[in-house]
Amino acid sequence: MNRTLFRIGLALASVGLLFGISRPDENDAPKTVPFNAASEAKKHAPTPDEILQGLKEFYRKTARPDGSFQPGIDPDYRGMSDAAYSDLAAVTYAVTVHKTFGWKLPHEEKTIEFLLSRQKPNGDFFNVAGTVSPESPEGRTYNTTQGLVALHALGRKPRHNPLPVFEAILKEDYKQLPAYSTSFFPLAYLCVGQPIPEKADRGIRALMVQDDTGYSNNHVAATFHASHYYRLVGEDTPRAKEMVARILRDQKPNGSWFLNMPARDRHATFDAVFTLRHEGKNSPECRAAISKAAAWAISCRNPDGGFGHYPGSASDADANYFQVGTLVMAGVLKPLDPLPPDAHLLSWGHLLPVVEKRERSPLLSVALPDWVSSVAFSPDGDRLAIGSADGIARIIDPQTGRELAKCSGHEDVLAAVAFHPAGKLLATGSYDHDAAIWDASTGKRLHRLIGHRGSVMSVAFSPDKTTLATASIDQTIKLWDVATGQLKKTLTGHKSWVNSLAYRTNGDWLVSGSSDGTIIVWSMKTATPIRTIDATKGEVRSVALSADGTYLATGLRYGTVMIWSMADWKDPVTLAGQGDMCAVAFSPNGKLLATTEGDWNRGGLVKIRDMATGNSVGRFEHTGEIISVAFSNGSDVIATGGADKTVRLWKLATGSR
């Protein structure tokens, strides 16, 4: 096929598509030329300079005197995808492309005036033309984000504060938005100069549910927005490895991605390339896939200098950005050098730098076969014990994640782990009703502790090294001789599950927390209660004592932490949270308190607070409920374990400990 016939074929296909979408329909089948366009494009590929000159010509012809832009060359063309959805899209994407390459807009001041005129006093940006209702949550989210992105790129602030728009939507309506709306929120907040609020952040994370392939909603668009979201907040993307593997698997031979026909994603190739670039660790497979995608994007270029969403489709303002963004990420088109200010906020991340270690990434992340119930550092901090629902306790090197020993023998979920003060022994408690003492070096079981009639939920060694305390859902606490494994005493007093134990540093008290809502302080001299505290009508999930014996912290079900001064036990401090407060822990010097919160199948959060001021000095997150937390003795590191089957180690802020 010669070059003339190729161009005629593209033109005819464009004309046919143009007259077929006067009212865009997401269920229409893609119109393509009847041959391999990507292959032909490679034979006749334009140079980067030709692509850029063509784009300039397209924008010259589509620029309106009022500063806005037509969605296509034909003034009657109503656009496709974003350009059909809202008439703000064509303007924002024109601004984005011009700023990417350092071009002056045809009527830049008029474009600024146009954007400012599209904001209401309540903060909303609105569309006049397009299929979305400007009053709907979708329209308000979309238009306001696009308006903020464009003005930010132009170095101008909106006339009115836009944050009330998002605050209102984030109360409830955000839950009903399309799955490809998630990263709008951190992008909009960052354009205003603020991080997304913590509560909103957690709510949106709860919507980004992934399947075993790492995909959200079985679609590359929602998956891209998850990757973009985590990139904007500076965290590692969950299941990134699985996500990349599926994207590579789903690429078509021509280099594109079309998924879930007929309700396909017209931006699928951009979405896939972004995700491969940021999650693929620059692997040869990812580089090859991105190169194929770039060839396909070039095949979507038309003689008028613009790009269509597919080979042979009409040039479209929306398609221009996503095809050009693909070519920029692939290295075919070179952006302005140096990059424009806040390049990472220029639309959907085509200029986001690839980083090896993200700002809020863990030092180490260890995947487990099942959910993680408990973590504990050895006294010298050079080992970390992990209890998992697969019934096994693993001891790892916290620097590398290398497994040092494995304690196997329990027949059900392993609920608790604790190192002996000398570091040579490990205690475990299990849903199989047993506790055990192990050699921490070899993983050999030394004593099987049989006697509880229910799951063993917590284990704690006494500071004098002679006694192991175990707590069970059978409402009892048992005290065992460490050397012999013999039962010394059974403590009774709780009326429901005993969930957590903690010894005072001098060993004179043992504190227990129960699902009956009480905390009991036991004298170890007499093995009797010396104080019972009615903490809650719900459950006490965890207890922790500061090293100096000054404070008792408890984590309660349904979102509350309470802290007592043990000098007078009066007027406890209450800290509100969300979900269950599964774990609390003091730093070894007692200056910091870590609290975890979360709900099953939702993202979990660890907050680190300064005990002197109550201020937050750190927060770390999992994609599942965080069930356990532990401070390392002698380093600025904490470990967290959760329902997402991972253990993560985090670096605390310098000096915070």
User: Average pLDDT in the 65-85 region?
Assistant: 94
Round to whole Å and give the CA distance between 41 and 332.
14
Round to whole Å and give the CA distance between 471 and 589.
26
The dihedral of CA 55, 148, 127, 197: what is its sign? positive
Residue 18: is its pLDDT beyond 60?
A: no
The number of beta carbons lying within 10 Å of the beta carbon of residue 11 is 14
pTM exceeds 0.75: no
Q: Give which of 556, 482, 567, 548 is closest to 519, Cα–Cα.
A: 556
Round to whole Å and give the CA distance between 79 and 475.
67
Confidence label for 653 from pLDDT (cuts 50, 70 and 90)? confident
The length of the chain, given as a count of residues: 657
517-523: Cβ within 8 A, 24+ apart: 518/494, 519/543, 519/552, 519/554, 520/493, 520/494, 522/477, 522/491
Q: Give which of 424, 501, 487, 422 is closest to 457, Cα–Cα.
A: 501
pLDDT at residue 198, rounded to an integer: 83
Any idea what DSSP says for residue 159? S
Convert the pLDDT of each residue in 423-461 to its tens digit.
Answer: 999 999 999 999 999 999 999 999 999 999 999 999 999
User: Average pLDDT in the 623-631 region?
Assistant: 87
pLDDT at residue 21, rounded to an integer: 26
pLDDT at residue 603, rounded to an integer: 66
pLDDT at residue 7, rounded to an integer: 33
Round to whole Å and give the CA distance between 622 and 643.
8
pLDDT at residue 617, rounded to an integer: 83
Residue 20: is its pLDDT beyond 60?
A: no
Q: Which of 203-212, 398-407, 418-427 is the least confident region?
A: 203-212
pLDDT at residue 544, rounded to an integer: 96
Tokens, residue 638: 């904490």
Convert the pLDDT of each residue in 250-296 to its tens digit.
Answer: 999 999 997 654 455 689 999 999 999 999 999 999 999 999 999 99
Residue 532: is its pLDDT beyond 50?
A: yes
Q: Check if the beta carbon of residue 226 is closer than 8 Å to that of residue 236.
A: no
Round to whole Å and give the CA distance between 267 and 293.
12
Round to whole Å and give the CA distance between 501 and 542.
8
Round to whole Å and give the CA distance between 171 and 276.
33
Tokens, residue 395: 């001891």
Any idea what DSSP says for residue 651? E
For residue 537, CA distances in Å to 79, 201, 515, 519, 640 come to 59, 29, 9, 12, 27
Q: Which of 121-135, 194-208, 288-302 is the least confident region?
A: 194-208
Domains observed in the chain: 3-345 (1.50.10.20), 369-534 (2.130.10.10), 540-657 (2.130.10.10)
Q: Give which of 226, 292, 283 is closest to 253, Cα–Cα.
A: 292
Round to whole Å and give the CA distance between 625 and 597.
7
Tokens, residue 114: 């146009």
Q: What is the mean pLDDT of the chain?
A: 89
Convert the pLDDT of each residue in 217-236 to its tens digit.
Answer: 888 999 999 999 999 998 88
- Provide the 3-class DSSP secondary structure of residue 175: helix
User: Average pLDDT in the 515-528 region?
Assistant: 96
Convert the pLDDT of each residue in 588-597 to its tens digit.
Answer: 999 999 998 7
User: Average pLDDT in the 13-20 region?
Assistant: 28
